Structure 1
Amino acid sequence: MTSLVTGFLRGTAAGAAGTTALNVTTQADMALRARPASGMPTATVSALAEQADVAIPGARRERQHRLEGLGGLAGTATGVAVGGLAGALRSAGVRLPAVIGAPLLGAAAMVASDLPTARLGLTDPRRWGSADWAADVVPHLAYGVATHATLAATFRADERERAEHPEGAPRSATAGSLLRAAALGAANGARSTFGSAALAWRARPGDRGAVGLLGSRVGRGGATLAALAEASGDKHPAVPPRTAAPGLAPRLALAAGGAGAAARRDGREGGPGALVAAAAAVGAAFGGQRLRAIAADRFGSDLPGAFAEDALAAGLAWWGAGRS
């Protein structure tokens, strides 16, 4: 089974190929219809910079040139990111035929590009004409076709080898292993370090990989101290909300990494469990914060909810780190 990291890197390469196809299609349309380049990427970057209170340096003309460059970079980053996500999903076992996968990838890239502009009030797709829709749909469809074809080509050798030698491949995820992954992810969503601590304490001497490192004396001690520190610091009012990017990103990473490591320890595919754990971490992060707010309204303090969350997260982490 291709790892999520490898799948993501392959996906970024495929996204770059798709972005090239999108740009070529757009430029060909400009040459054929003699239409000007779209100013929407520049306007989007400018609006986002104003919202973030970030000044773009330079005189008027220099600032405009910088905005044009940033707009192009933002479009490229969007195409590469969508491809990276598609690669990670494919490494997790999500494989769609070209007739479905290509249009779906094109639609995803189109939404990723058009949604910010619509939310900023720079455009209204409901008022687009047929020519406007064609100018947007056709290049993104080219993106989807190129990205899907590149992904399929980069994964073909691995998938052929797995089909020819099924005895060496990891076992497929089961309902039980996915439930444990969800529990581990939910624990990480509530307390980002509890999952690692549980894996460390449930490790055995023969375990290899990340679980084996966590099970060492140093790994177990470090994971335990980190969990205790987080359980204590979580109660401090100055701690930023877990649903903000700085709090949510490590929860997602640790949930996916922990569930993937547990699956590989058990000889199973790591991708499906990692995706389930990441989704569970997001749900637990938002749900736990909401429950803490309800407890604060009822008891005048969120400490009762926080201690209850500690106990629930510890129980989920211990069960989720168990062997399937």
Structure 2
Amino acid sequence: MGSLLSGLLRGAAAGAAGTTALTTATYVDTAVRARPPSDAAEQVVAALADASGMTVPGRRRERARRLTALGALTGTATGVGLGGLAGVSRAAGVRLPTAVGGPLLGLAAMAATDGPLAVLRISDPRRWSAVDWAADAVPHLLYGCTTHATLVAISRVAEGREAVPHADPAALLRAAALGAATGSRSSAGITAIALTSRREDTGAVASRLSGRTVGTLTALAAVGELVLDKLPIVPSRLAPQGLAPRVALGATAAGAAARREGHDSGLPGLVGAASAVGSALLGVRLRAAAERRFGSDRPGAVAEDALAALLAWLGARRRTAAAAPETTVRPLRR
């Protein structure tokens, strides 16, 4: 019981860190795009109050201020609460790598915030644009990865375990390359990891993806995607069903590459996910520019295929041990 309570407290602290990251990302988006702040949380609180027969006191202006505060507090409580649940799960023995646990926490946070909007008919996510989905998914993914990475770090200190080294700049560049490859072709990054991993590698993802059978299957999936990508029936990669797998696979591939080299997977996973989103957006623009220039997007698609393969190779290639410096043996003078 004590360990579960400790896990709850650690998770709540990690959730607070993740909530701070989510709030920061949201305000950065508001500042960059100069979009109006969202009042969705306030509408949820008002709808729940009306449905339960409760009244938010005050006149119109006072009530609006209270709803604003209650909406913000509800978001904070959701973030801290999900972190607490993650801490309890970890204390109970469920220990996922950040590259997997981070996106899962982000999806859980999205469900906790977007679900009430749909149920209460405040907003219909099915009608959101690709930009709306990206503006919602990226901060929640940042929340998930930050919460999970913080929880792992706190737990390692509390448990007296040796901390995993943070990723160096080279590892982050490889994470960005894998994420960019995945944003262009969703199976590119994970296929590259499967083809370059070994059973003895560190990290659950890399070791389980190793082997000839898995490598062959992922390679076939990648080839199939290259063909399907050229067909007009394939939905846009910026649609939820196209963007969400790219974000998750980008984070997974980048995190797996980092763990394989002995680094913590939290920040590389986040870099991979963000890079996947950026690459998906740029890829759509590249294809549109190619269609305007050549009358078809096929040249842009082929160029994107080659670029995705190159980025996947750069991101997944294994580091070679530095060669020992040559020494010159000089004969002893007599």
Return the TM-score normalized by structure 2.
0.57
RMSD between aligned alpha carbons? 4.0
1:161-208, CA deviations, whole angstroms, 9 ceiling, x for partnerless residues?
Answer: 533677622111222211111110110000000111111121134225
CA distance in 2, matches of 1:157, 1:231: 38
- Alignment match, 1:195: 189
Q: Confirm whether residue 174 of structure 1 aligns to residue 168 of structure 2.
A: yes
1:319 aligns with one of 309, 314, 321: 314
Give the Å deviation of 1:286: 1.2
Note the 1:220-299 alignment, pairs <5 A. 220-299=215-294
Note the 1:42-191 alignment, pairs <5 A. 87=15, 111-114=39-42, 130-143=61-74, 146=77, 151=83, 154=87, 159-163=153-157, 168-191=162-185
When residues 267 and 164 of structure 1 are mapped into structure 2, their CA distance, relative to the original with a 3 A threshold, is: same
CA distance in 1, matches of 2:311, 2:201: 21
> In the alignment, residue 113 of structure 1 is paired with which amino acid?
A
When residues 274 and 131 of structure 1 are mapped into structure 2, their CA distance, relative to the original with a 3 A threshold, is: same
> In the alignment, residue 295 of structure 1 is paired with which amino acid?
A
Unaligned runs of 5+ in 2: 1-6, 31-36, 46-58, 88-146, 320-334
Greater shift in the superposed pair: 207-216 or 308-317: 207-216
CA distance in 2, matches of 1:283, 1:105: 15
When residues 200 and 149 of structure 1 are mapped into structure 2, their CA distance, relative to the original with a 3 A threshold, is: closer
CA distance in 1, matches of 2:184, 2:198: 26
1:206-251, CA deviations, whole angstroms, 9 ceiling, x for partnerless residues?
Answer: 2252212222111100110000000111111111111111111111
CA distance in 1, matches of 2:21, 2:279: 30
When residues 167 and 288 of structure 1 are mapped into structure 2, their CA distance, relative to the original with a 3 A threshold, is: same
> In the alignment, residue 310 of structure 2 is paired with which amino acid?
G
CA distance in 2, matches of 1:297, 1:116: 44
CA distance in 1, matches of 2:208, 2:23: 43
> In the alignment, residue 262 of structure 1 is paired with which amino acid?
A
> In the alignment, residue 61 of structure 2 is paired with which amino acid?
S
Q: Confirm whether residue 215 of structure 1 aligns to residue 210 of structure 2.
A: yes
When residues 171 and 138 of structure 1 are mapped into structure 2, their CA distance, relative to the original with a 3 A threshold, is: same
1:308 aligns with one of 303, 309, 333: 303
CA distance in 2, matches of 1:225, 1:306: 19
> In the alignment, residue 182 of structure 1 is paired with which amino acid?
A
CA distance in 1, matches of 2:221, 2:233: 18
Return the TM-score normalized by structure 1.
0.59
Identical pairs, percent: 41
- Alignment match, 2:198: 204
Give the Å deviation of 1:147: 5.2
Give the Å deviation of 1:112: 4.4
> In the alignment, residue 163 of structure 2 is paired with which amino acid?
A
8 Å CA contact retained: 2:42, 2:70: no
CA distance in 2, matches of 1:106, 1:136: 19
